[in-house]
Amino acid sequence: MKLQIKDLEIYTYDKTDKDQRHLRYVLENDYDFLKYVTKNLENRLIETNPKEILQFNSSYLIKYKKDFIGYIRLGELQRNGSLSIECAVSPDYRNQKLGKKIIEILAQYLLDNRCEIQKLRGVIEKSNYASCKMALSAGFIEEKRDDQYIYVSKSR
User: What residue numbers bound the domain in which 69 lies?
Assistant: 2-117
Edge to edge, what strands does the sheet with 149-155 contain? 2-5, 8-11, 58-64, 67-74, 82-89, 119-125, 149-155, 141-145
In a domain, 152, yes or no: no
CATH code of the domain containing 40: 3.40.630.30
Please state at what angle helix 129-137 crosses helix 98-113, rounded to 10 degrees. 50
In a domain, 77, yes or no: yes
Number of domains within the chain = 1
In a domain, 132, yes or no: no
pLDDT of res. 7: 94
**Helix/strand/coil for 88:** strand
pLDDT of res. 36: 59
In a domain, 123, yes or no: no
Q: Who's near 37: CB < 8 A, 6+ residues apart?
A: 27, 71, 73, 86, 88
Q: What percent of the chain has pLDDT over 90?
A: 63
In a domain, 52, yes or no: yes
HEC string of 119-156 equals: EEEEEEECCCHHHHHHHHHCCCEEEEECCCEEEEEEEC
Give me the half-sphere count of Cα atoms (radius 13 Å) on the Cβ side of residue 127: 5
Q: For 29-86, write each residue's pLDDT tens digit.
A: 877 766 655 556 666 676 666 667 899 988 899 999 999 999 899 999 999 999 999 9
pLDDT of res. 1: 80
pTM exceeding 0.75: yes
